[in-house]
């Protein structure tokens, strides 16, 4: 089990920030929409980096890392959505270790600890504040690329639902459903036989420590995500969704995710649709393909239903996630190419709960089409 060493959750938790910084030299990595916001008040003496775009092009980050290194921050404070948090994790990597980032693509290639990151998410979904992964885009690669390492887990996660109160409905919906996918995929991930004499993989499959987190995440997200989307000012709903997202992040940060994510990367690249829209759309179809029906039913129990897949279809409909791949512009003739690209995500497929053959992926894709 890997989690951030410190996790603070609750309305007002952001007030811990000055204490946690404790007089150290700070680089703040923040989403541009936050500039001028009172949330940045504790960072008035910090150097601020805010060139954050959803795609996170690697060239921009390599340059930001170089500038940051010259400034030599003692701590990096990240405030924003998943992209801002991922950017901060990678800038922290480049402050401590030589670039470019491309040398760290993949798993376990970061050579040692990085400058500590304090992560404060303004969206509820990615779980990046507690996970060992950051996802970026590289113009030389067709799909987004991940850098995963236990050294990228932030030192502190501060999850204050107040920061999510302003998120627009579509952001709340797509980030929130992605959190539910993280809960479902961590709960259904394969159990791996680990070789204790070798370095461990970053993502190790489900275990007794992650399972309760996945279920508890589902219990918070299931009833409350539709409320948070339809009534953005509902504080209880924001709190429940933020908590579900955090717990799901703590679970999948150890277990990893599997088929929805492996299939979303090519679909997202092809259709330019948000990550959570794709993973959410795929979830009912992936769950249908899992042979262990009892496990799928146990996940439904946490959601408060005896029809797991039906309930997820309902949640998708309630929050505006499209029901089929054809609706988001995928053509049937593109399904084989999507399957082939997904087969390249070998680390995700390694923890899938069913042998991920090309035929199986095509079956899931046809079902979703």
Binding site for Zn ion (CB under 5 A): 178
Sorted by sequence, the CB contacts under 8 Å of residue 220 that are 6+ apart come out as 240, 241, 243, 244, 247
In the bound complex, what is the minimum distance in angstroms from residue 261's beta carbon to Zn ion?
6
**Cβ distance to Zn ion smaller for residue 86 or 178:** 178
In the bound complex, what is the minimum distance in angstroms from residue 108's beta carbon to Zn ion?
20
In the bound complex, what is the minimum distance in angstroms from residue 181's beta carbon to Zn ion?
6
**Cβ distance to Zn ion smaller for residue 93 or 348:** 348
Long-range contacts of the stretch 5-9 (C-beta < 8 A, 24+): 5/155, 5/156, 6/155, 6/156, 6/157, 7/130, 7/156, 7/157, 7/159, 7/246, 7/250, 8/156, 8/157, 8/158, 8/159, 8/160, 9/159, 9/160, 9/242, 9/243, 9/246
In the bound complex, what is the minimum distance in angstroms from residue 292's beta carbon to Zn ion?
22
Neighbours of 205 (CB within 10 A): 21
In the bound complex, what is the minimum distance in angstroms from residue 125's beta carbon to Zn ion?
7
In the bound complex, what is the minimum distance in angstroms from residue 7's beta carbon to Zn ion?
19
**Cβ distance to Zn ion smaller for residue 160 or 178:** 178
In the bound complex, what is the minimum distance in angstroms from residue 99's beta carbon to Zn ion?
26
Tokens of 145: 């690329």
**Cβ distance to Zn ion smaller for residue 125 or 226:** 125
On whether the CB atoms of residues 76 and 91 are closer than 8 A, the answer is: yes
**Cβ distance to Zn ion smaller for residue 115 or 202:** 202
Bridge partners of 48, per DSSP, are: 28
**Cβ distance to Zn ion smaller for residue 222 or 253:** 253
Pairing label, strands 133-136, 145-148: antiparallel
On whether the CB atoms of residues 275 and 282 are closer than 8 A, the answer is: no
**Cβ distance to Zn ion smaller for residue 133 or 338:** 133
In the bound complex, what is the minimum distance in angstroms from residue 252's beta carbon to Zn ion?
8
Among 38, 263, 310, CA closest to 160: 38
In the bound complex, what is the minimum distance in angstroms from residue 243's beta carbon to Zn ion?
17
**Cβ distance to Zn ion smaller for residue 77 or 213:** 213
The closest residue (CB) to Zn ion is: 178
In the bound complex, what is the minimum distance in angstroms from residue 279's beta carbon to Zn ion?
5
**Cβ distance to Zn ion smaller for residue 129 or 178:** 178
């Amino acid at each position: 089990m890997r989690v951030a060493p410190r996790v603070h959750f609750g309305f007002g938790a952001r007030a811990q920030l000055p204490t946690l910084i404790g007089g150290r030299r700070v680089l703040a990595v923040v989403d541009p929409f936050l500039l001028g916001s009172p949330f940045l008040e504790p960072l008035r003496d910090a150097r601020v980096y805010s060139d954050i775009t959803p795609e996170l092009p690697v060239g921009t980050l390599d340059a930001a890392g170089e500038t940051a290194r010259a400034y030599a921050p003692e701590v990096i404070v990240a405030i924003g959505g998943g992209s801002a948090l991922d950017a901060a994790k990678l800038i922290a990597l480049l402050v401590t270790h030589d670039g470019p980032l491309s040398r760290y693509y993949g798993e376990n290639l970061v050579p040692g600890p990085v400058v500590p990151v304090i992560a404060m998410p303004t969206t509820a979904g990615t779980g990046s504040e507690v996970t060992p992964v950051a996802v970026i885009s590289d113009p030389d690669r067709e799909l987004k690329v991940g850098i995963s390492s236990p050294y990228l887990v932030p030192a502190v996660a501060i999850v204050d639902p107040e920061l999510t109160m302003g998120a627009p409905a579509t952001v709340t919906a797509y980030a929130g459903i992605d959190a539910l996918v993280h809960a479902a995929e961590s709960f259904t991930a394969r159990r791996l036989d680990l070789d204790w004499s070798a370095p461990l993989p970053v993502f190790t499959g489900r275990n007794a420590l992650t399972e309760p987190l996945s279920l508890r995440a589902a219990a918070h997200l299931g009833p409350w995500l539709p409320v948070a989307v339809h009534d953005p000012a509902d504080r209880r709903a924001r709190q429940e969704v933020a908590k579900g997202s955090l717990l799901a992040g703590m679970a999948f940060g150890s277990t990893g995710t599997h088929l929805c994510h492996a299939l979303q990367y090519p679909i997202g690249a092809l259709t330019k649709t948000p990550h959570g829209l794709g993973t959410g759309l795929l979830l009912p179809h992936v769950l249908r393909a899992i042979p262990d029906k009892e496990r799928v039913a146990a996940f439904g129990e946490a959601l408060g239903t005896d029809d797991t897949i039906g309930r997820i279809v309902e949640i998708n409909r309630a929050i505006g996630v499209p029901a089929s791949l054809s609706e988001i512009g995928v053509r049937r003739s593109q399904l084989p190419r999507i399957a082939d690209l997904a087969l390249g995500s070998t680390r995700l497929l390694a923890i899938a709960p069913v042998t991920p053959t090309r035929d199986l992926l095509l079956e899931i894709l046809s079902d979703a089409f």
